[in-house]
Amino acid sequence: MATIKQVADAAGVSFKTVSRVVNDDPNVSADTRARVLDAINALGYRPNLVARNMRTRRTHLLGLVADEIATTPFAVNLIKGAQDAAWKRGFMLMIVNGDNDAQRTEDAIETLLERKVEGMIYATMRHEVIDPPPNLIEAPSVLANCRCADSRIASVVPDDEKGGFDATEVLIRSGRRRIALINLEEIAAAAQARQTGYRRALALHRLPYDEALVRYTDDGQPDDGYHRMNELLALDTRPDAVFCANDRIAMGAYDAIKEHGLRIPHDIAVVGYDNQEVIAAYLRPALTTMALPHYEMGYWAVEYLTHAAAQGERAVEQGTLPCPLIMRESV
C-alpha cells in the first residue's frame, strides 16, 4: 500500500516526477526514470486508480445490465465480446443483473451511475423490442440484442430476417421443395423476422407458401419441437425439410423424425437457429444452424460506447449484425 509520496521520498524526487514516470511522460531523464522505477519495484507501489479517476474525472468503466444471465447461457458470448473489446480499449466492465425486475434494474443502473460509468449496455437474452429503463439514458448507452420502438437509443441486434432467408435458402439449394417452419411463439420479434425471411426465400425461388407447413411453439422447447414435428409428419404430403426457429426445437424434431424411421438429412433436412453449441454440435447428425452474433453484438456495443466517450456525442446508430450459417450435417 505504498503511496506515490513514499516512492518519491525513496527515489529522492518530488511526487510529481513519480507521477510522470507512471504516466509515461517523456519529460523525465532516463536517469531519474530508472531511479523512480527502482523505488516503485522496491516498495511494490501500485497507482491508486480510485484517486486517479477522481482527479481525471474519468473511470474507464462501462456498465453492462443484463435482464437475466443464467437461463440462456449461450448468450454469455455477448459478455465475452464486450469484455474483449473493453479490455482492448482499456476499459473494464461492471456487470449487473436486472433479474427481469424493473425496480431492481433501475437500482442497478443507479449504482452504476453513482460509480460514474462512462457508458452502459443494456442487454436482453432474447431479441425483442423493449421499453428501456428510464435512468438508462443518463449515461451514453446502447441496447444490445434489443431495441426500443422510437429508436432514440443506439442499439445492435441480429439480422433475423436475413437469417431466416439464408436458412430457408440453404434448404432450397439442397433440392428441397416442401419446407416446413417450426417457429417460436408468434409474438416474438425474432419469430416474425425469421418468418419474413422464410417467406422471402420461398417467393424468390418460386415455391408456394403453405400455411399447413408453418407451426408455432409455446416456449420453443424440445417437447414443442417434437410434437409440432409429429404433426408435420402426419400430413398427407410430409415436408422434405424443416427450418426450426431454434436448436432446442430442432432437438425435439430430431426425435420425432427418428421415431418415424426417417433419416436426416436423407429423408428430411433440418436447419436450426442459435448455434447453441452444446446442442447443435452434439446432435447426431450434427445440426446445421444459424449462429447468433452475440459476441459481435457485445463487441459492437463497447466499440460504440468507447468511441462515443472519446469523441463526445455522436449519431445514434442502429446496428444490425448478420447471423452466419453454420454448415454441419443435417442438410
Partner DNA sequence: CTGTTAGCGCGTTCAT
Partner DNA sequence: ATGAACGCGCTAACAG
Phi, psi of 79 (to 5 degrees): -65, -45
Q: Does 51 bind its own copies (CB under 8 A)?
A: yes
C-beta of 24 vs 211, nearer to DNA: 24
User: Smallest Cα–Cα separation from 96: which of 122, 59, 75?
Assistant: 122
C-beta of 5 vs 284, nearer to DNA: 5
Region near its own copies per CB under 8 A, out of 5-13, 76-84, 238-246, 310-318: 76-84
Per-residue mark of binding to its own copies, 252-271 (x: CB under 8 A): x--x----------------
Give which of DNA, its own copies, none residue 15 binds (C-beta under 5 to 8 Å, depending on kind): DNA
Q: Does 221 bind its own copies (CB under 8 A)?
A: yes
Give dist(CA 129, CA 126) in Å, integer: 10
Give dist(CA 182, CA 168) in Å, integer: 12
Burial of 157 (0-12, 13-18, 19+ CB in 10 A): buried
Q: Which residues have a Cβ under 8 Å from the Cβ of 283 and sit 6 or more positions away? A: 250, 251, 254, 330
279: cell is 446442442
In a 13 Å sphere around the CA of 279, the CA atoms on its Cβ side amount to 24
C-alpha distances out from residue 208 to 204, 211, 232, Å: 10, 10, 17
Q: Select the residue interacting with DNA from 56, 100, 103, 318 (CB under 7 A).
A: 56
Region near DNA per CB under 7 A, out of 17-25, 64-72, 152-160, 198-206: 17-25
Rounded (5°) CA angle 17-19-20? 65
DSSP 4: H
Q: Select the residue interacting with its own copies from 6, 97, 192, 320 (CB under 8 A).
A: 97
Region near DNA per CB under 7 A, out of 21-29, 121-129, 235-243, 244-252: 21-29
Residue with cell 501500485: 46
Q: Does 300 bind its own copies (CB under 8 A)?
A: no
298: cell is 457485445
Q: Does 41 bind its own copies (CB under 8 A)?
A: no
User: Smallest Cα–Cα separation from 321: which of 147, 199, 204?
Assistant: 147
* Count of residues interacting with its own copies (CB under 8 A): 44
Q: Does 111 bind DNA (CB under 7 A)?
A: no
C-beta of 17 vs 246, nearer to DNA: 17
C-beta of 159 vs 223, nearer to its own copies: 223
Q: Does 14 bind DNA (CB under 7 A)?
A: yes
Give dist(CA 249, CA 253) in Å, integer: 6
**Min dist. Cβ of residue 182 to its own copies (A):** 15
Q: Does 46 bind its own copies (CB under 8 A)?
A: yes
User: Smallest Cα–Cα separation from 251: which of 278, 222, 275?
Assistant: 222
HEC assignment per residue over 112-142: HHHCCCCCEEEEEEEEEEECCCHHHHHCCEE
Q: Select the residue interacting with DNA from 37, 43, 52, 223 (CB under 7 A).
A: 52
Q: Does 147 bind its own copies (CB under 8 A)?
A: no
Where do the H-state alpha helices sit in 189-293?
189-204, 222-233, 247-259, 277-280
Q: Does 113 bind DNA (CB under 7 A)?
A: no
Binding site for its own copies (CB under 8 A): 46-51, 53-54, 59, 69-70, 73-74, 76-77, 79-80, 83-84, 87, 92-97, 110-111, 113-116, 221-222, 226, 248, 251-252, 255, 276, 278-279, 282, 284
Give the interface with DNA as residue ranges (CB under 7 A). Answer: 1, 3-5, 13-17, 19-20, 22-23, 25-29, 31-33, 47-48, 51-52, 54-57
